[in-house]
Structure 1
Amino acid sequence: MHSSPLADRHRALGAKLVDFGGWEMPLSYPLGTLAEHRECRTGAVVFDVSHLGTLRVTGPGAYDRLQQAFTNDLARIGPGRTQYTHLLDGDGSVLDDIIVWWTGRHSFEVMPNASNTDRVRDALTSGGEPNNDEALTNGGEPNNDEALTNAAGFQAVDVTGSRAVLAVQGPEARNRLAAVSTGAPQVARNCVAPVEWGDTVLTVAGTGYTGEDGVEIAVPSDAAGRLWDEATAAGIVPAGLGARDTLRLEAGLPLHGHELGPGITPLQAGLGWVVRWDKPSFPGRDALAAERERGVHRRLRGLQLQGRRPPRAGQAVLRDGKPVGEVTSGNFSPQLGAGIALAFVPPDVEIGDELSVDMRGTPAPARVVKLPFV
């Protein structure tokens, strides 16, 4: 079990800690998930998201390697920008969804989901041979387990354990963060930049996972506690992964292992915009092109229930009393005061259609709604 550099802070605050992707992380604090959720929608919260992986990919061949590996097209952005992308399996399904921070001309921070860091690193370095003249880590000593440089001249190093990542989110996030750092709140949405904070350099990106404005801050592990303390002292409320999940569900954002994963393609998940067809090749392209040609057999839709009872992943979606799909994520929406769900349903299901969700044998009426819910 991995621990965040902020684990002592979470325990001191009375957080409920759970296993999340092999990391012991805070699910909620004594304030409670509903209150943390509402604070993010109205004020500002800080999440510890240090469980996310960080692969530092550098070298003159880094750009080409990422272009070959992922579905999106870095040529559409440039240094100082961020991009959402996918790593596909050969059958076109999503092995992982990833955020890339383009931090310098030949340097990138690739951020996989917690449990997929090794998988993404292996995908980037497969076929590469260790080259100790170019790949030196840990004080100049060659370490082939952490650094591989292939013939194209790039290096992929797992730096997850050397930093923490704080996500400051909410309509007041930038205002309150200004009391901690003058530079961090100025990093625009979908941008990334180094920010000096005393004698520490932060990497700040205008990204998040809540549907609200805000930034994510990568901070060296030895300075993480101080940044957390200053952020909370500025009125930014600690929030756990429980609120992060209800917020992302209201925003209609996918979660790997639910809306993305084995057997689920970007086209089925409604994320075709992540795939750049003008790129000559990437893993899974042929299978995905074939699916595009024949049409998807299911698609992801949002369902809003009439009552407050929360639907749950795995429950059947019914049309005229017959199962036609399955809930992938479901919960109570604090903003709407109703149960909401993401579900895979037949491609002919349209917004406004009336369906139901089988809740332990009881059909709960649900309407197909346009995403995001909030």
Structure 2
Amino acid sequence: MRSSPLEGRHRALGAKMVPFGGWEMPLSYPSGTLAEHRSCRAGAVVFDVSHLGTLRATGPDAYDRLQKAFTNDLARIGPGRTQYTHLLDDDGSVVDDIIVWWLGDDRFDVMPNASNTDRVRDALGGSGAGAGFRAVDVTGSRAVLAVQGPEARKRLAAVSPEASAVPRNCVAAVEWEATPLTVAGTGYTGEDGVEVAVPAEAAERLWDAVAEAGIVPAGLGARDTLRLEAGLPLHGHELGPGITPLQAGLGWVVRWDKPSFRGREALAAERDRGIHRRLRGLRVEGRRPPREGQAVLQDGEAVGEVTSGNFSPMLETGIALAFVPPDVDFGDELAVDMRGTPITATVVKLPFV
């Protein structure tokens, strides 16, 4: 198991530590997941997301390498911006969903999911032997703090006005107490906020300053319930082997006007013939949480499967993401088979919150 540079702070706070993507990370703190979730919706929290990968892609060929590998189109943005994108397999399924931080003309920080860093680097051509391109894994040299919530920017301004001012979907290099930070207006909660990459040796100092500004520590449990309420996909659940962007309702991340990208031919064939399933949101009657793998029923027959499910702290009811037939529409009434008991579920538009 790999450890975050902030592991000592988590243990000192009494965090429950769990394995995640090859890392030992905090699931929750003594206040509990529900309280942490609500703090993010009403105030501001900080997550340690150092388990996310960082591949630093540099060189005059970096732009072309990323364009040929990923589904989205960097030509739609520019330096100082971020972009959500996918890396596909040859069959059109999603190897990983990624955020690209475009830091300069020939410098990109590519942010894969924890367990996929090596796969993404290999897809880009490894570390790159020539002078035209390099992709170096710098994950171990930094920590990443995600400050999220409606009060996130206001409270972070007490620590670093420059970091708090980085706009949504933008990225910038700032300095804090003689320490270089890379700050992106991105997140995974449905709330406003930023993600801050800080050198590992300064991570505890920044964490302490953020906490002193009234920003509450939150663990991966709250991060998951927040992203589910926001209707955001999680790799290994809504994305992964056999799941394409079109099935996941993420066709907007695919730029068909690009001449080529990995998996384009297979994905175009699926687009032309039509998808056989699609991801929908289900709001379930009662407080009982649906769970991954439970069958979705239509007229008593299994027609789909829950990919993520939980209790929504804000709606105070069960919610789920599930793959269902493509003709299932908003307002349709289905059911989730919860250990042999069908519980009524309504198809709703995302996000839930």
The alignment's TM-score, normalised by the length of structure 1, stands at 0.94
Match of 1:338 among 308, 317, 331: 317
Corresponding residue for 2:23? 23
Whether 2:137 is the aligned partner of 1:158: answer: yes
CA distance in 2, matches of 1:225, 1:280: 45
Match of 1:254 in 2: 233
Instruction: Please give the alpha-carbon distance, in whole angstroms, between the structure 2 residues aligned to 1:319 and 1:149.
Output: 55
Tell whether the 8 Å contact from 1:313 to 1:328 is kept in structure 2 after alignment: yes
Match of 1:370 in 2: 349
After TM superposition, list the pairs within 5 Å mapping 1:62-73 onto structure 2.
62-73=62-73
1:286-305 paired onto structure 2 within 5 Å? 286-305=265-284
Per the alignment, residue 157 of structure 2 pairs with: 178
Q: CA deviation at 1:357?
A: 0.1
The answer (yes or no) to whether the contact 1:102–1:109 under 8 Å persists in 2 is yes
Using the TM superposition, give the Cα deviation of residue 148 of structure 1 relative to its aligned residue in structure 2, in angstroms. 2.4
Specify the alignment match of 2:3 in structure 1.
3
Query: In the alignment, which of 250, 273, 293 is matched to residue 252 of structure 2?
Result: 273
- The one-letter amino acid of 1:228's match is W
Q: Does 1:124 align with 2:124?
A: yes
8 Å contact from structure 1 (residues 125, 150) kept in 2: no
**Which whole-Å CA distance do the structure 1 matches of 2:55 and 2:262 have between them?**
19
Rounded to whole Å, the distance in 2 between the matches of 1:300 and 1:124 is 29
Q: Secondary structure at the match of 1:348?
A: coil
Query: Which stretches in structure 1 are left out of the alignment for 5+ residues?
Result: 127-146
Aligned counterpart, 2:301: 322
CA distance in 2, matches of 1:277, 1:52: 28
Cα distance in 2, alignment partners of residues 154 and 178 from structure 1? 36
- Superimposed CA distance per residue, residues 177-199 of structure 1 (whole angstroms, 9 cap, x where no aligned partner): 01111100110000000011011
Q: Does 1:81 align with 2:92?
A: no
Q: Partners of 1:172 and 1:356 in 2: how far apart?
A: 37
Distance 1:45 1:104 in 2: 29
Residue 53 of structure 1 aligns with which residue?
53
Alignment partner, residue 35 of structure 1? 35
- 1:287: how far off? 0.4
Q: Deviations over 1:125-174 (max 9, x none)?
A: 15xxxxxxxxxxxxxxxxxxxx42347x1100000000000000000000
Equivalent position SS for 1:371: coil
1:12 aligned partner, one-letter code: A
Separation of aligned partners in 2, 1:52 and 1:150: 27
Q: What residue number does 2:337 align with? A: 358
Given that 1:192 and 1:206 are in contact with CA atoms closer than 8 Å, whether structure 2 keeps it comes out as yes
Query: How far does residue 323 in structure 1 lie from its aligned partner after superposition?
Result: 0.1
AA aligned to 2:22 is G
Equivalent residues in 2 for 1:95-114, closer than 5 Å: 95-114=95-114
In the aligned structure 1, how far is the partner of 2:187 from the partner of 2:152?
A: 12
Take 1:149 and 1:185, find their aligned partners in 2: how far apart are those partners? 38
Moved over 2 A (4+): 147-151
1:112 Cα deviation from its structure 2 partner: 0.2
Is the Cα–Cα contact under 8 Å of residues 9 and 225 in structure 1 kept in the other structure?
yes
Task: Report SS of the residue matched to 1:183.
Answer: helix
- Tell me whether 1:149 sits opposite 2:140 in the alignment: no
Residue 132 of structure 1: aligned partner? none
C-alpha offsets along residues 61-81 of structure 1, whole Å, 9 cap, x if unaligned? Answer: 000000000000000000000
Q: Which residue of 1 aligns with 2:12?
A: 12
Give the aligned residue type for 1:334: P
CA distance in 1, matches of 2:17, 2:328: 39
Alignment partner, residue 211 of structure 1: 190
Tell me, what secondary structure is at the counterpart of 1:149?
coil
Per the TM alignment, residue 104 of structure 1 is displaced from its structure 2 partner at its CA by 0.5
In structure 2, distance between residues paired with 1:193 and 1:234: 22
In 2: Cα distance, 1:258 partner to 1:72 partner: 21
Task: Tell me the distance in 1 between the aligned counterparts of 2:129 and 2:168.
Answer: 32
* Contact 1:195/1:203 (<8 A) preserved: yes
Q: Deviations over 1:69-100 (max 9, x none)?
A: 00000000000000000000000000000000
What SS does structure 2 have at the residue aligned with 1:46?
Answer: strand
Aligned length: 353
CA distance in 2, matches of 1:243, 1:185: 22
CA shift digits 1:103-134 (9 cap, x unpaired): 011000000000000010011015xxxxxxxx
Matching residue of 1:133: none
Aligned amino acid, residue 346 of structure 1: P
Q: Supply the RMSD in Å over aligned alpha carbons.
A: 0.7
The letter of the residue matching 1:26 is P
Structure 2: tracts of 5 or more residues without a match: none
Q: 1:237 aligns with which of 206, 216, 224?
A: 216
Distance in 2, matches of 1:68 and 1:178, equals 38
Kindly provide the CA deviation profile for residues 2-25 of structure 1, in whole angstroms up to 9, marking residues without a partner as x.
000000000000000000000000
Other structure's SS at 2:307 match? strand
